[in-house]
Structure 1
């Protein structure tokens, strides 16, 4: 009987973990209009140096942490002129907390003629949940992620939630 307990516990933990991921994936799928192609964190990671990354969250969120090298462009005040120095065929990755706000910015970029825009699937939450690094304003790694509010914060599974 004692030998059966550990495998059972492992199965239970595995089931709970996979259900949490499925729920995250279902939530993400329900948010997107899919007007901007998606890129997953594990596909973005190896090509970080060759793309332009735009963080579309608020300045407060950006200051807590962001993907290293990301350029801040506030969702609420975004204008295409802010990125006029970026060639329209450059690969541009947009992200926010989960990908909703960034999809709207991505649509504006596409409408302005940018031809290689992608939205980071799951936003910075998806990035951090995959175990990838974020940095603070000092460009040093941090575990903190601004989660917008408690409702959205439930989708960050790895990292320290900041409200």
Structure 2
């Protein structure tokens, strides 16, 4: 079992390294069921949308986009979104590191009846690559970004890469 997992992990990491562009990476892992919004577009409307972070708590605590609400990925429950009084017709932008996990969560939001859900193209990595502000757990600006793993970190071009266990 462990060797099967190791083989799958090795093949998966090889797929990431063979991607030449973010477009190719997202096409490989996403089915594009949720429309993308660019970081530049989000920056313009940031104050008028609900921003949901689909990364894990340790990633969010290192840094997140200002005003984002943590909803997580591994333990995501639609009930947590409902409890935050997010209306079905609110405009919601979901992000993660690059836009893969956020598509999965966005699909669950759409299935639950949320009408205007968008996936942030390139996620927090692209946000930081464009020199937009990220904040830490104390809501203070930071240069640190949780980079997930060495495979994913290649897409983060600016800021200080941080890894946690």
TM-score if structure 2 supplies the norm length?
0.83
> CA shift at 1:30, angstroms?
2.5
Structure 2: how far apart are the matches of 1:56 and 1:25? 20
Any idea what SS the aligned residue of 1:47 has? helix
Structure 2: how far apart are the matches of 1:88 and 1:160? 36
Structure 1: how far apart are the matches of 2:33 and 2:116? 13
1:155 aligns with 155
1:5 aligns with none
> CA shift at 1:24, angstroms?
2.8
Query: Which stretches in structure 2 are left out of the alignment for 5+ residues?
Result: 1-19
Q: Within the alignment, does 1:57 sit opposite 2:34 as a pair?
A: no
Structure 2: how far apart are the matches of 1:38 and 1:29? 12
Any idea what SS the aligned residue of 1:124 has? helix
1:109 aligns with 109
Structure 1: how far apart are the matches of 2:91 and 2:80? 16
Structure 2: how far apart are the matches of 1:38 and 1:24? 13
2:34 aligns with 36
> CA shift at 1:106, angstroms?
0.2
Q: Deviations over 1:118-141 (max 9, x none)?
A: 000011111111111100011111
Bigger Cα Rg: 1
**Aligned residue pairs: how many?**
142
Q: Summarize the alignment of residues 10-159 of structure 1 with structure 2, pairs less than 5 Å apart.
A: 23-84=21-82, 85-159=85-159
Query: Which stretches in structure 1 are left out of the alignment for 5+ residues?
Result: 1-21
> CA shift at 1:44, angstroms?
0.4
TM-score if structure 1 supplies the norm length?
0.84
Structure 2: how far apart are the matches of 1:142 and 1:29? 30
Q: Deviations over 1:93-121 (max 9, x none)?
A: 00011111110000000000000000000
1:4 aligns with none
